[in-house]
Amino acid sequence: DGGITQSPKYLFRKEGQNVTLSCEQNLNHDAMYWYRQDPGQGLRLIYYSQIVNDFQKGDIAEGYSVSREKKESFPLTVTSAQKNPTAFYLCASSNQGSNYGYTFGSGTRLTVV
Amino acid sequence: KQEVTQIPAALSVPEGENLVLNCSFTDSAIYNLQWFRQDPGKGLTSLLLIQSSQREQTSGRLNASLDKSSGRSTLYIAASQPGDSATYLCAGVSIKAAGNKLTFGGGTRVLVKP
């Protein structure tokens, strides 16, 4: 079955540590996205990529980095510069055009310990 | 900049009652509007996608309408069941936004009481 796989499901980060969240899709979608979800704040866009080897900042990119070396993969690194990383992170993919919707992964919950 | 609003933020109904969830958006120049369901601690499940040229979409007990002129979309869930309890999110893709970015409303948390 086609879909998006996010791993790990739960992740714990110590202060000052960088951690990387994995996102893989087998839908052959061109575009991929990372969103952050906090209670009471809805979903906010961190980074997105429309094509391999290219990506753009979203609304809250500070403290995060991404790469898009393969069409199927769009990993997100939460760096030590991100002061409040505890949140639920969602990866999504889509193709261009009005008849294409977004498909989301099951999410990664990151907690600072 | 596109803004999406969902009112009410929470809704509680008895089982069997029809649900009406509202979504409003400020920029009528949208490619499409999508309704999602989210269960606690889970990802988003797509329910319905309405393209800008369409006025409604239906899937089983679900029906979503789109009125671009008034900037509104409504999700109807007929004969609600306790399993329909979840948070429902609407999101739109603006034609003017680079990257086909999706803008989300804050969601409506629904509780269907047995």
A99: confidence class by pLDDT, cuts 50, 70, 90: confident
B102 vs A6, A102, A105: nearest CB? A102
- The pLDDT of residue A1 is 63
Phi–psi pair at B96, nearest 5 degrees: -80, -15
The share of chain A scoring above pLDDT 90, in percent, equals 80
CB contact under 8 A, A107 and B42: yes
- SS3 assignment, position B2: coil
Task: Please state whether beta strands B56-59 and B62-67 pair in parallel, antiparallel, or not at all (unpaired).
Answer: antiparallel
Position B4 scores a pLDDT of: 94
- Note which residues in 36-65 of chain A have CB less than 8 A from chain B: 42-43, 45, 48, 50, 56, 58
**Distance in angstroms (rounded) separating the CA atoms of residues B14 and A95:** 39
Cβ distance B50 to B64 under 8 Å?
Answer: yes
β-bridge partners, B6: B23
pLDDT level of residue A98 (50, 70, 90 thresholds): low
Tens-binned pLDDT, residue by residue, of chain B (114 aa): 788 999 999 999 999 999 999 999 998 888 899 999 999 999 999 999 999 899 999 999 999 999 999 999 999 999 999 999 999 999 998 887 777 789 999 999 999 999
What does the pLDDT average to over A9-28? 94
Q: How far apart are CA B6 and CA B89, in angstroms?
A: 8
Joined tokens for residue B57: 């979409």
Give pLDDT, residue B29. 85
* Chain B positions in Cβ-Cβ contact with residue A8 (cut-off 8 Å): none
